Structure 1
Amino acid sequence: MSPLIVLVNTIVLRVAPKEKSGSAASMSETGAEVGAALGIAVFGSLLAMIYRLRVDLPEGLPESVTSAAEQGMPSAAAIAEQLPAAQAGELLAAAENAFTTGLTTVSYLSAAVALVLAILAALYLRPKAGDGSAEDEVTSQEPERAPAQA
């Protein structure tokens, strides 16, 4: 993640006018913090939802154990310590399977979102001809010619 943050900050600071570079840097940092918080919240909630939908607990467990184990992997692990070895093994296997399914799904979804954003960035963040970018200035300048000497 760190190389990506450095790259984004470099791009932001290169395109911002020098007199507004402080504002650009702070906006970039704020966007990164908000994006990270939203990503954790959204993908974490999705992971918890998938866990609850996919956890298939073994038969014969008391209702209090079942409802607590459905809350998440840490709860299932804590409850498993209080159960006999056979039931604990089944409970942990079911919880690990549900957690792995959720984590895999969220990872694939995250990769898909990153791919879509990369494609959008490639399509829409290209410099336009004549927008005053440094690249335009270099390519549009004619080399100076020395006066012809007789």
Structure 2
Amino acid sequence: MTSYLGSGNPATHRTDYTPEWLGNLAEDVTLEASVLNGILRGPEAVRTILGFARTLYDYQEFNFVGPYGDNGFVEDYTAIFRGNPIGSVVVINFNEAGQAQQIIINHRPLTSVVRWTTLMREHFTGTEYEPYFLSAAELAELA
């Protein structure tokens, strides 16, 4: 089984990363992610979801962070969240004004995706964001 623990070197474990693009979101920004059941739209929704999601990490270890192509940016990292390993690739596409317009986050392995969406659902229960995360009943139906 593949390990998502990174290098194991504590000196490379970051707890302070704040992506610059998060402060420069387009009014019509979208967020798609493995842990989401649907597409989030708008800067408030994206900041709310990612703002909480960032608190779940014990640490992140980056393999690559930087531009790609003419209007893109990529983050490739492994991390631990509440003791669980997770690997993530984040792709950001910028509009002509240089604002983040489309954010796509792919997580792995599936067990961590399920744990992550469960934690997010618990946090956002009773809010407008609750339906974006699978409930226990919905997860059971998938089994």
TM-score by length of 2: 0.25
If you compute each CA radius of gyration, which structure gives the higher value, 1 or 2?
1
Asked which structure has the greater RCO (Cα within 8 Å, sep 6+), the reply is 2
**Which is richer in helix?**
1
